[in-house]
Amino acid sequence: MPFDKSKYPKDWKTISLRIRARSNGRCECHGECGLHHDRRCEEQNGRTAKWANGAIVLTVAHLNHDGMDCRDENLKAMCQRCHLRYDQALHQANSHLTRRKKKAHRELFL
């Protein structure tokens, strides 16, 4: 999915770097993703994933899913696995909406 810059502040790159630095390169998820209920995720940026394939990429998640709300308490550095799981319902809803729009567009030209 392409990164939509219009949904983030102009200084997002700086904010993202600051949050990832705050995490000391480790995923800050404490179960928000549905895993790790009693502990913090162990994944570390750039290392081989313990619970998935490939290398870990540390991302920054908006806990309220609002890309413009960049308060520290709304942001968490998360490995790509935790971030994708955390945003799963949002991705499914967006996917459903996109499919409906494409179907409506196709039907317009039938």
Q: pLDDT tens digits for the chain (110 residues)?
A: 456 788 899 999 999 999 999 999 999 999 999 988 889 999 999 999 998 889 999 999 999 999 999 999 999 999 999 999 999 877 676 666 667 667 666 666 66
Q: Which range of residues forms the domain containing residue 19?
A: 5-108
CA distances from 101 to 69, 74, 75, 82, 86 (A): 27, 31, 31, 29, 25
Rounded to whole angstroms, how far apart are CA atoms 59 and 47?
14
- Answering whether pTM is above 0.75, one says yes
Distance of CA 73 to the CA centre of its chain: 15
Count of structural domains, the chain:
1
What end-to-end distance do the CA atoms of the chain give, in Å? Answer: 28
Question: Could you tell me the two tokens for 35?
Answer: 């895993």
CB proximity list for 48: less than 8 A, separation 6 or greater: 54, 55, 56
